[in-house]
Chain A
Amino acid sequence: MEQRKPIIRLEHLGKEFPTADGPVKALEDINLDIYSGEIFGIIGLSGAGKSTLVRCINYLEVPTEGDVIFEGVSLKSLNRKGINQMRRSMGMIFQQFNLLSQRTVLKNVCFPMELQKVPKKQAEARARELLELVGLGDREGAYPAQLSGGQKQRVAIARALATNPKVLLCDEATSALDPNTTKSILQLLKEINGKMGVTIIVITHEMGVIEAICDRVAIIDSSHIAEAGNVSDIFSGPKSAIGRQLIMGNTVHAEFGHSKLVRIIFDGRASKEPVLANLILACKAPVNIMYAATSDVNGTAMGQMIIQLPDEEGEEKRIMNYLATAGILHEEVTEHDF
């Protein structure tokens, strides 16, 4: 890999919240490099620490351990003024859009420029330009209450870009939107990334979002980074349990019965033998293949499969025993894991 300097570097980042029932560790030892111009995804289940992580990046949440380095500057070293200055180079959009309800669309986009005392005329001209870019050139006089969710997010994107930030932070920006609107907003983000070269950090719990626009991804699981890398690499061979779960979760939509579900992992070791066929022959029991994703990496089968075991208890036991004794990597899953 070429020697690039990261625009954002997270170093041993940790965040602990004091609560009535003792401290809660929301983040622990997070190390990540985010490069200029890329779209970086951070995915994890609810409560994993995604929002806390992204809020630490612009110091809306002050880390209790480690630091954030933005363009070579340690954010810890900045005073309140310096932090506000830094925030102007990082736009942010939110799940709930967070537009000012008493301002028109145009005035919402002008807001960050007003904060920086940009002359009104100049600010309005820039705002109109941005509204054109996000496809809302004709709605500048509307109030947020008069817009749909997707339109509100477009206004929020225009507003976040008003000060020409280098980074755009998106915390679940599409989670309140329907699939079609999600698609169009993601497309817009991708377009902005291409056109303006803005580095985008996307927080989501949906693999589809990562797949659609991200170059690299970090998977966060209970306060830790489980794995990070190129999206294509992680999709073809997730190494962590949470990674497998997230990747499958997006693709399986079948109705499951009530019998046991097992995930079988092909790590390449057991590739010479036909695992499933042997299992069925040995146990003399049928299994239902719910999902399979395998790929051929240099001649070995890598991937995973979810099978449904028969309802009958004896057969189920036999299969579980077989998997254990044959040394096949497997884990029990529930449909809630999808």
Chain B
Amino acid sequence: MIFDSGTWEMLKTGIWETLYMVGLSSLISYLIGIPLGILLTVTGKDGIRPIPFLQGILGVVINLLRAVPFIILLIMLLPVTKALVGTTVGSVAIIPPLVIAAAPYIARMVESSFREVDAGVIEAAKSMGAGTFQIIWKVLLPEAKPSLLVGAAISITTILGYSAMAGFVGGGGLGAIAINYGYYRYETGVMFLTAAILVIIVQLVQEVMMKLSIKTDRRIR
């Protein structure tokens, strides 16, 4: 036996912490990202309710947030994190910076999925007297669903990657274990094992979301 039972326990906890951090921040990021993505699409110059001024400001803010490297954002947001969750260490402390990094990213992914929706179909809905919210709810979202699912696979795996940096603020999860053992203690065995588990999680998320996307896409005969 290379690893003792303590190591396995630690890995098990690490997996749960990772799933918790990624799951919760993905959820919150999507709750923010989808409305932002809708706003970006709808208020665009060729959108169904053009408000170029609002769209311009939103675009700049999103680009700004996306331009800051995650590790820097993590440090810059320490006071915000403290205010939001009451602590700047541990797994929960990584969630606010994860959300603030991921939501703009998701907004762009959602926007690009919406832009793929056939303009002719939107026009048809307009010709039937559909209002803005009806178009969003009954045309944009359902028609973009397969693409949104593919986007979710990419977004969630990106969040998973970011979550590995939780280790730097004393958070938990697999990334923290890899850093503590591999980087600080030179125990490469544990490091490779956690990396392998991360790869498997990424693979699973990717596969499941893609399958779901393909299975529910009615454009495929």
Contact = CB atoms under 8 A, between A and B. Distances in A.
Contact of B126 (A87, A99, A101, A114): A87
B219 A101 contact: yes
A145 B220 contact: yes
A88 to B, nearest CB: 4
Size bin of chain A's contact surface: 20 to 34
Contact of A100 (B129, B143, B146, B217): B143
Given A94-B120, A99-B121, A102-B142, A58 B127 contact: yes
Q: Of residues A85, A88, A115, A145, which shows the largest number of chain B Cβ atoms within 10 Å of its Cβ?
A: A115
B51 to A, nearest CB: 14
B143 A101 contact: yes
A60 B217 CA distance: 29
Contacts of A90: 127
B218 A94 contact: no
Contact of A145 (B134, B138, B142, B219): B219
A291 interface: no
Given A60-B127, A111-B138, A100 B221 contact: no
* Count class of interface residues, chain B: 20 to 34
Interface in A132-159: 143-146, 156, 159
B128, B139, B142, B217: most-surrounded residue (chain A CB, <10 A): B128
B123 interface: yes
A222 to B, nearest CB: 25
B191 to A, nearest CB: 44
B66 interface: no
B134, B217, B218, B220: most-surrounded residue (chain A CB, <10 A): B218
Contact of A94 (B124, B130, B219, B221): B124
Contacts of B127: 58, 60, 87, 90-92, 169
Contacts of B145: 102
Interface of A: 58, 60, 80, 83-88, 90-92, 94, 96, 98-103, 111-112, 114-116, 143-146, 156, 159-160, 163, 169
